[in-house]
Amino acid sequence: MSTEDQEAQEDELLALASIYSEDEFNRADSAPGGEILVCLDLPSHFKVLVKSNGAADSITDNFENTVSFLPPIVLNFELPPGYPSTTPPNFTLSCKWLSPKQLTRLCQHLDDLWEENRGSVVLFPWIQFLKEETLDYLNITSPYEIEVPSNGLQSWTQSPEKTFGAGEWPSLDKRAIQDVQSASALVRCILDFNEAQQKKTFDSKPFLCNICFMEKLGSDCTHFKDCEHVYCNICLKGYFEIQIKDGQVHALNCPEPKCTSIATPAQVKDLVGEQLFSRYDRLLLQSSLDLMADVVYCPRLSCQTPVMKETDGEMGICSVCQYAFCVHCNMTFHGLAPCKTPTEEDVESEEENESVEEEQRRTLENASNKMKNREWIKENSKPCPGCNSPIEKVGGCNKMSCTKCKKYFCWICSEILSYKDPYEHFRDSSACADA
């Protein structure tokens, strides 16, 4: 490689890195080359239709949607030693929504641009052509119908005659790749990319909040998709928190007067945090259950679990506390006997039963705790030889002092020590020999 070619290649790669972001240009590490992602500027209200040639994707046969962005055209290139003086770049051109025929036409035009600029760097003119002229060059207008071969990418790279016909294959350029496996995969890719690019564009634009009347970036705002209104997150967070604390979970709509757009659960969660969102989710579920004619609640005040009512059934059984009750009067199930209006004594009886059950639960819990305490004491203490009280050794020497009878004793052999000189026992090396 000549010094001039090497310098021209390095200068061109550095220029591309300075012009395009890391999302658009990736320089190769091993050899002079890289990858360019070219996103086209679509006309407003651009509509796409996806059509599959196979039965496997029949669910997408009628897919139609308006998009602001389509997945990029990907230009992979490698600069040979003779570039730009004598040799053009080696490249492939891939795209998910352009057919191999359309990509072949683009590859041929890139070759023509090289011939027109032979001896000069050509990557930037290539990128400009792809970005600004692709739609006009291929006569692409809205609505744009995308045809996907039944076997996706492999159908034309491995068996071109089967997909396009034996006479068509010679006209296809091997550098042209329709990088998609199926119509359903293409639909997912188009929708995901369009949503991601819309969010990226929204995050970088300034918006005026009509609550605080301050201008903030979209990344600090929330966008109601149905009505297109935008408010800053700080104002909307305070508004939603008040509504949720007041139990008005169906009032989490756009603050614009007379606007009926509703915030999505994901937007609410991002704004108010886990704790308040749990309350919002619980109240929303409860209000939905209240509207269902076949759902009743366990009448026990300590339970209140939703219970599905059997069709034409008279009895409800709580799945949590197993309480069987009449779905009409909420009293204990009474079989064929007619419902009666609960008296004050009935209510008191039900409350007493619940109180007894709660007391029994606490009694069992206390008994279990006492059992665990006894086991712990047995494993971690020794009885005082004077009064038999359990003594725990936390640290220090083996001279123990009972807090109850005030006697001293040896932790090792449990011998009671004298008050006058309790340490005399430990000066005798044979004192604990038998312990």
397 is catalytic: yes
SS3 296: strand
Residue type, 351: E
Give residues with Cβ within 8 angstroms of 201, minimum separation 6.
68
Name the burial class of residue 28, with classes exposed (0-12), middle (13-18) and buried (19+) by CB atoms within 10 angstroms of its CB: middle
- Structure-block tokens of residue 4: 């001039």
DSSP H or E stretch at residue 147: strand 144-148
- Structure-block tokens of residue 310: 């059997």
Nearest Cα neighbor of 269 from 334, 207, 222 is 222
DSSP H or E stretch at residue 290: helix 265-290
Beta-bridge partners for 206: 217
Residue 383: how many other CB atoms lie within 10 Å = 14
Q: Give first-to-last CA distance, the chain, whole Å.
A: 91
- Structure-block tokens of residue 50: 């996806």
For CA atoms 225, 185, 53, 105, give the dihedral sign. Answer: positive
Q: Name all contacts of 306-309 with Cβ < 8 Å and 24+ positions apart.
A: none
Cα distance between residue 95 and residue 72, in whole Å = 7
* 54-to-58, 59, 186, 224 alpha-carbon distances in Å: 7, 11, 14, 38
- Bridge-based pairing of strands 176-178 and 90-95 is parallel
- Structure-block tokens of residue 126: 């290539």
- Structure-block tokens of residue 76: 């992979």
Which residue is catalytic, options 259, 397, 402, 410? 397
Residue type, 3: T
SS3 157: helix
Residue 37: how many other CB atoms lie within 10 Å = 16
Cα distance between residue 349 and residue 328, in whole Å = 19
Helix/strand/coil (H, E, C) string of 157-224?
Answer: HCCHHHHHCCCCHHHCCCCEEECCCCHHHHHHHHHHHHHHHHHHHHHHCEEECCCCCCEEEHHHEEEC
Cα distance between residue 157 and residue 176, in whole Å = 10
Q: Catalytic amino acids?
A: 397
